[in-house]
Chain A
Amino acid sequence: MKRFLIYILLPLIILVLGICIGVFIRDFPRFSMNYNVKITEIISLLLTLGIGVFIPLIVKKLIEDRRSFKNNLIEEVSSFNKITNTINDRLTTIHSSGKLTRQDKDGFVLLFEIADEEFNQLCDFLKENSNSEIQNYIDELQIKYMEFWKTLTGSEVTKSSLRKLNDETYKKAAHQHVSMKTITRKIKVGINKM
């Protein structure tokens, strides 16, 4: 029985199926190969391939490069934020301690030397690589930064007779720090919009 199935019935079924498929597709339009290809068709094919393959790759790379460039600019802004945060933390510590020493005063001068370098670098990067909206924010930031510097390295802090950071100076500097942070946030948003 098994032999009958394998050697007779199965080949018969395959034969009948083949005939049926043959009958079914015999009237389909037949394909023919034309070996005379026009040059315009080759160009068209290459262009289609170019659009389909290369353009997505190039666009993707451009988008990634742009993102990485923006991230670098944002990182520069964050570096400046970091040093001004350090100054502000130092300010809070000194104010809470109720003491203002010679070292504390020199410490502010040192921190502003470092912050100056960060600010110079930030300006250099953004002047070359940003738009007028960000330039305006940079000018605003510079004014606020100068006020912050003037408060913390001015006579109301560096005067030799001063042994304690007074509340007014602390509040003024803390407020100037917040204003700088607000501007740097706007710069970051501006960079992302570029």
Chain B
Amino acid sequence: MEIKDTLVIAKEFGDTAGARDYEDGDFSGREFYDKFLKDRFVKARDGGYKLLIDLDGFWGWPSSFVSGSFGFLSMKYGSDLVLKHIDFKSDKNPLKITKAIYEIENPTAK
């Protein structure tokens, strides 16, 4: 499947990850999900293409942030569909990709 859209988190959202929910402070995973991830993912799903999430330049990768964004997306749409339409790029820290996939495959409600 072709990549037709790229979401560079550090440029579009912010350069530092917060925690999970809005009440935990700024730049939370849920904020990222609501403002960026959800719509772009739905477009990719409907358009039959892949959305590339570029993680380079984004500092911190707490599980709460990943869970509040990618984990939440996985709980809503299912891990198979999410992984079908999302690819990750992290040249500096490839483990961030593994962690995101881990959260998508093992999402936690809280």
Contacts and interface: CB of A to CB of B under 8 A. Distances in A.
Interface of A: 105, 108-110, 112-113, 116-117, 119-120, 142, 146, 149-151, 153-155, 157-161
A157 B62 CA distance: 10
Interface stretch (B33-41, B43-51, B74-82, B92-100): B92-100
Given A146-B102, A150-B63, A154-B108, A159 B93 contact: no
B60 A116 contact: no
Contact of A159 (B17, B20, B98): B20
Interface in B54-94: 59-64, 67, 93-94
Interface string B3-29: 000000000000001011101110000
State the main secondary structure of chain A at its contact with B: helix
A142 B59 CA distance: 21
A113 B17 CA distance: 12
5 contacts: A109-B62, A116-B93, A146-B102, A154-B108, A155-B20
A3 to B, nearest CB: 99
Contacts, number: 64
Contacts of B19: 105, 155, 158-160
Contact of B95 (A109, A116, A157, A161): A116
B40 to A, nearest CB: 24
B17 A109 contact: yes
Contacts of B102: 146, 150
Nearest to B19: A158
A75 B73 CA distance: 40
A146 B99 contact: yes
Q: Which of A117, A120, A151 has the most CB of B within 10 A?
A: A120
A152 B64 CA distance: 9
B15 to A, nearest CB: 13
Contacts of A142: 98
A155 to B, nearest CB: 5
Contacts of A120: 93-95
Given A109-B61, A160-B19, A160-B24, 17 more contacts: A105-B19, A108-B62, A113-B61, A116-B95, A120-B95, A146-B102, A149-B99, A150-B102, A153-B61, A153-B62, A153-B63, A154-B62, A154-B67, A155-B64, A155-B108, A159-B64, A160-B23
Contacts of B60: 109-110, 113
A146 B98 contact: yes
A119 B95 CA distance: 8
A155 B69 CA distance: 13
Contacts of A158: 19-20, 24, 62, 64
